Amino acid sequence: MNHLYDVKAPAKINIFLHVIGRRLDGYHMLQTVFRLIDLHDNLSFNLRNDGTISFEMTSNNIPNEYNLVIKAAKLLKMHVKSNKGAHIFLEKNIPIGGGLGGGSSNAASTLIALNKLWSAGLNRQELMKLASCLGADVPFFIFGDNAFASGIGNILHRIDLPLKYYLIMQPGISINTKDIFSDSILKRDTRRVTMCQFMDSPSYLFGKNDLEDVVFVRYPDICNTVVFFKQHGFAFKMSGSGSCFFIEYDNISQSILALNKIGNIINKVCGSFRPAKFFFTGSYVGLDEHPLKYWVTK
């Protein structure tokens, strides 16, 4: 029997992100549309019969106390009272602190893969409930589909999105989500919208990201870079709490042409202003569903 699983943990973007209030317990009330994209981290899981959970990764090793992969594995092991273990290898491609949900996606793929590897037998709702202990975005990656989300991001409704391609700009900055949400200048009173309103409007043009203003004040270089590209016809939108920004295109040819145009613009820049340190890794297609959706029973 093969006890080695190789799985993908896809990134997400927030087509819009509205902060509509704050609960007494400090959690923020949100509305957003989560879209999966084909930028992904890779994880492999090898069964260990000694009950030990071991971990390694290609680079940027994360301390165990902050490592959501290890936290997810230990949480599932404790929940199902398994005497099995696993060796987990993580190859990072999604930028850390980029607002693309890399850590949350890794945690979700870990829960899904180990649930199967250990024959734990938890269904989707049980895994999502467990995932909520790890972070507000983690249940979405177990949900299996693109979603219109409300509450604290935990109330999810499946949504059909058209085929689109996304050019991702990744400034060389890692942003702490808690710092952005706790900032005193964050407005928390955006008017509620409905899923029908979103579906009646071109997705990329709908709404805004309420966290952008906070990031622009805290990180002037990011603000200057986004303004610079807007002046040249590229209206980037921020995903999550940053630092990554994206533009949506109808097909891959448009996105590649845009990437080439951006390269030419940067090469022609003169004077004192230069865009902040950033990089583009290419164009990513929006996914219809999570690659591990059918690893979980309803």
For residues 257-282, b (16+ Cβ closer than 10 Å) or e, as one string?
A: ebbeebeebeeeeeeeeebbebeeee
Residue 280: which of 170, 175, 173, 174 has the closest Cα?
Answer: 170
One-character DSSP codes across 220-258 = HHHHHHHHHHHHTT---EE-TTSS-EEEEESSHHHHHHH
DSSP per-residue codes, 51-70: S-EEEEESSSPPPGGG-HHH
| Annotated catalytic residue 12 | yes
CA distance 182 to 197: 29
Centroid of chain to Cα 171: 16
Query: Residue 182: helix, strand or coil by DSSP?
Result: helix
- Of the listed 12, 71, 92, 237, which one is catalytic? 12
Q: What is the largest CA-CA distance in the chain?
A: 63
The active-site residue out of 41, 71, 77, 137 is 137
**Coil, strand, or helix at residue 200?**
coil
Distance of CA 81 to the CA centre of its chain: 30
The tokens describing 11, both together, are 């990134």
CA distance 100 to 36: 9
Catalytic residues: 12, 137
